[in-house]
Amino acid sequence: MFNETNNPGALSTPSLRDDPDPAFRKAREQAAYSDLMVGAIGAIGLVVVVTLLFASYNDYIVHKRELPALIARGQRIPAQLSGKPVHVSGRYRYTLEWRVRYSYTVDGRR
């Protein structure tokens, strides 16, 4: 490396404290900022996923506890299929919905 300010032909010793390339420093700062943002977004995403899993599992547990009580209080009665089951196309391709209509008699009324 040449020291062009004092003597164009003289060699100079670069200091370890000087950054030889300001563009490299800027790129390193941008990369550190990008890593921080990716980490923050990843952490937020992880919190959202864990919260949704917890909520759905809690809902499953509550319904699982309610079902035996509903079955115990319920009464089985004969019913007839009053129409053809209709497939209802869901918004998403992995969900299936069916509409089934039954007719049954309660206290003498259909």
- Residue 83, pLDDT > 60, answer yes
- 51 in a structural domain: yes
Cβ-proximal residues to 90 (8 Å cutoff; 6+ apart), any chain: 96, 97
Q: Give me the number of domains the chain comprises.
A: 1
What local confidence, expressed as pLDDT, does residue 100 receive? 78
What local confidence, expressed as pLDDT, does residue 16 receive? 55
- Residue 48, pLDDT > 90, answer yes
- 74 in a structural domain: yes
- Residue 1, pLDDT > 50, answer no
Tokens of 49: 């996923």
Q: What is the pLDDT of residues 2-36, one digit of tens each?
A: 445 556 666 665 555 665 677 777 777 878 888 88
Q: Distance between CA atoms of 12 and 76, rounded to whole angstroms?
A: 97
- 17 in a structural domain: no
Label residue 93 by pLDDT band (50, 70, 90): low
Global confidence as pTM: 0.41
Query: Which residue range forms the structural domain that includes residue 65?
Result: 22-104
C-alpha torsion sign, points 19, 23, 26, 27: negative
What local confidence, expressed as pLDDT, does residue 51 receive? 94
Side chain identity, residue 48 = V
- 76 in a structural domain: yes
Partners of 99 in the β-ladder: 86
